[in-house]
């Protein structure tokens, strides 16, 4: 229930941001147009954002015949977590990472890069997939997928408004300074909304994943490995769609500056320390 409330708050905040962009660039008519776009996007995000994100990453669905070990691992962990079997996807990327998506546990999917299968041991990979299933169990996946889709839409709307919106009778921007501020600040505001809901969620998924797998040290070791590889191996799909970075188990973006300052993930060091404090087999 709490996560459903957070989803509603997120959608309301994104809708307000859409309306603010519309009002700044087109007055009352712009605000009403933006409201209509926001309502449509909220509907689309709830029902179809998981499919959109999987398509962004060119994820391919696998089964017991095409990826028997990986599929069997996810099935065993889903049973331990008392969850329905999610759809399972692989992403042909060298960078090690993984995410979960879907609107609820009955319509969930987990995805991992081929790179993470090569880099991690079986024990470490179990910890990572248990972390993703913890997101499913905690019903985080709707929040993360909706926020990714809507943040991307805000960036697109801000750029569209800068080019086409708020023009006078001669076709010139009516207020170019406002337009420029909207183009710069709207995506930043969307990132702040994502950050506000994401960091605590990762700690909870680490804890839940450690409980599902029964091996917090394996997840801690996996996080350290992924962190080390992520700095030198960019995840190309995430670089093209940075709004989806907060869905990953580890921030996949290679850039520093504002991307680091407004990271949607807590520090790897703190995550590892918390997991090691839980104990488990050495």
224 is catalytic: no
pLDDT in tens, 39-82: 777 777 778 878 989 999 999 999 999 999 999 999 999 999 99
Predicted confidence band of residue 241 (pLDDT cuts 50, 70, 90)? confident
- For the entire predicted model, the pTM comes to 0.78
Catalytic residue among 61, 93, 124, 132: 132
Phi, psi of 29 (to 5 degrees): -65, -40
Q: How many CB atoms sit inside 10 A of residue 204's CB?
A: 13
pLDDT in tens, 208-230: 999 999 999 999 999 999 999 87
Q: Report the alpha-carbon distance of residue 58 to residue 36 in Å, rounded.
A: 30
């Amino acid at each position: 229930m709490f996560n459903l409330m957070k989803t509603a708050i997120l959608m309301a905040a994104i809708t307000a941001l859409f309306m603010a962009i519309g009002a700044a660039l087109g007055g009352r008519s712009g605000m009403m147009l933006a409201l209509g776009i926001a309502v449509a996007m909220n509907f689309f995000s709830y029902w179809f954002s998981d499919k959109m994100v999987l398509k962004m990453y060119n994820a391919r669905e696998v089964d017991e015949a095409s990826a028997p070990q990986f599929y069997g691992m996810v099935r065993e962990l889903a049973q331990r977590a008392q969850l329905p079997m999610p759809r399972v996807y692989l992403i042909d990327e060298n960078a090690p990472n993984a995410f979960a998506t879907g609107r609820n546990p009955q319509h969930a999917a987990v995805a991992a890069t081929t790179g993470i299968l090569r880099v991690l041991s079986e024990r470490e990979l179990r910890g990572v997939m248990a972390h993703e299933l913890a997101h499913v169990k905690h019903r985080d996946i709707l929040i993360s997928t909706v926020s990714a889709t809507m943040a991307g839409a805000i960036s697109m709307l801000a750029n569209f408004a800068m080019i086409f919106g708020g023009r006078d009778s001669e076709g010139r921007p009516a207020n170019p300074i406002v337009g420029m501020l909207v183009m710069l600040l709207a995506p930043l505001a969307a990132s702040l909304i994502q950050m506000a809901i994401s960091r605590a969620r990762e700690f909870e998924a680490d804890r839940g994943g450690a409980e599902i797998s029964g091996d917090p040290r394996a997840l801690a070791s996996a996080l350290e490995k992924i962190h080390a590889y992520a700095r030198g191996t960019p995840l190309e799909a995430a670089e093209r769609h940075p709004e989806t970075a907060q869905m990953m188990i580890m921030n996949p973006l290679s850039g520093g500056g504002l991307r680091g300052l407004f990271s949607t993930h807590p520090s790897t060091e703190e995550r590892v320390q918390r997991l090691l404090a839980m104990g488990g087999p050495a």
